[in-house]
Amino acid sequence: MKKILILILLLISAGMLWYFSLIFLSNKLNIGNINISPDNIIAIASSLFLALTLSAISYAIILLSMQVKSNQLEFEKNVNSNNIHLEIISLSSLINECDTTLHRYDRWEEAGIKGDYMNAKTSVREKMNAYREKLEKSYENIQALNLE
């Protein structure tokens, strides 16, 4: 709708430009009424085509600038989405590493290997919970990007 409105405004301005060039030519040649002589036909036609060409070029420039803005917004969305996906991948890796560490501590405890595994497990679980909270926030950010 916006593009059509721009095109209509440009065509109206081209028509007005052509009409005023007609008036300018008739006043310049001191003709009371607009008499179209063979010499004036070429000037009138060329002014019409110049006005239409100017409006077509203006329309193309406006459309290109709108497309550039749209592409910039899409690029920014893609960059944000990629950053969030990378964060999700890294957090998932950290959570998997925590699970592996906890499993290893459980095996060592069952095997009777001496060590302070209860404190270590608590520390690893706290880190894992923090990673999961960040992961949930990242998923919420992804949902917010999808809604835009």
Q: What is the pLDDT of residue 68?
A: 94
Taking the C-alpha atoms of residue 26 and residue 34, their distance in angstroms, rounded to an integer, is 6
Q: What is the pLDDT of residue 80?
A: 85
Taking the C-alpha atoms of residue 90 and residue 108, their distance in angstroms, rounded to an integer, is 27
Q: What is the pLDDT of residue 40?
A: 65
Instruction: Say what the pTM is.
Output: 0.54
Q: Which residue has the tokens 């009371």?
A: 32
Contacts (Cβ under 8 Å, ≥6 apart) of 43: 25
Q: Which residues of the chain have pLDDT under 50?
A: 30-31
